[in-house]
A and B are shown apart, each in its own frame.
Chain A
Amino acid sequence: MSEPAATAFDERLSLLVGSGQVTPVARRLTESVVVEVETALGRALGEDDGAPFVTHLAMALSRLDRGEEAPAPSVAVEEELRAHPREHELMERALGRCGDELGRPVPATEVAYMTMHLCALTEG
């Protein structure tokens, strides 16, 4: 993955890295996924709409980087996923690349939660 440019989420990601919740590697991967999602959506994300997506993504990738467990699955989220195959595919692809780089597969639960955050962006 190429080095992403500075994003609207620099302050947020610096805060999360500074507090030890997000790893530097997870931050870099998060910024790469943000660029990929922005390209797919055809618009830039900002704090107003993209903050939950970016925060969950950075936390999820940090869990993966540290080898920590994924959050428990949600029945409601799993049901909602079926209505959003395109968003799910996009997140599987983007997170799959992150998993390759981290040397661990991204758990399906993390892909599911990230898909929900992506849906919030695509549905406004």
Chain B
Amino acid sequence: VAETGPVRVVVSGVDAAGMAALAEQAGAGRVRAAATGDMAGARLVETGRADFYLGTCWSGGGGALAAATAILGARRVGIAGTPGRPVRADRMREFLSEGRSAFGFPHEQSASAIPTIVHAILEHLDESGRAAEQPAG
């Protein structure tokens, strides 16, 4: 993660553009999110040009993270939610403390999952001392 500036999030999967907008909204000026293909997004994280990867599919556990798992390795990805098992802040804290940077969840959970994930990321970065950019105004 870059020392300063907005947190760079790439979003891939079902309605990636809509999810990117949700991520920026949840980040309240501290997150810059872009919709990408899954392989391209994972490679941006791999090469340090993005900080975090969010992926969705219908089930949350397969297609959402398959490319990220292949490119980043299983230790850097976490299935954050599956149908019937919503994304939880405590699980996200655990993932982040383990150094994971790619998270998958079902599309139907996006409205609640994305704010939970983004807030957990920002809290984690604040606690680890990163000087994240504050919102203007």
Contacts and interface: CB of A to CB of B under 8 A. Distances in A.
Check if A and B associate.
Answer: yes
Given A12-B39, A52-B14, A52-B63, A74 B58 contact: yes
A80 to B, nearest CB: 9
B70 A56 contact: no
Interface stretch (A16-24, A36-44, A87-95): A16-24
Contacts of A113: 57-59
Contacts of A117: 57-58, 63
Interface stretch (B21-29, B80-88, B90-98, B120-128): B80-88
Contacts of B39: 11-12, 15, 51
A71 B83 contact: yes
B80 to A, nearest CB: 14
| Interface size band for B | 20 to 34
A55 B67 contact: yes
Nearest to B60: A71
Interface of B: 13-14, 37-39, 57-63, 66-67, 69-71, 82-85, 106, 108
20 contacts: A15-B67, A16-B66, A22-B66, A52-B38, A55-B38, A55-B57, A55-B67, A59-B62, A63-B62, A71-B60, A72-B82, A72-B84, A72-B85, A74-B83, A74-B108, A77-B108, A113-B57, A113-B58, A117-B57, A117-B58
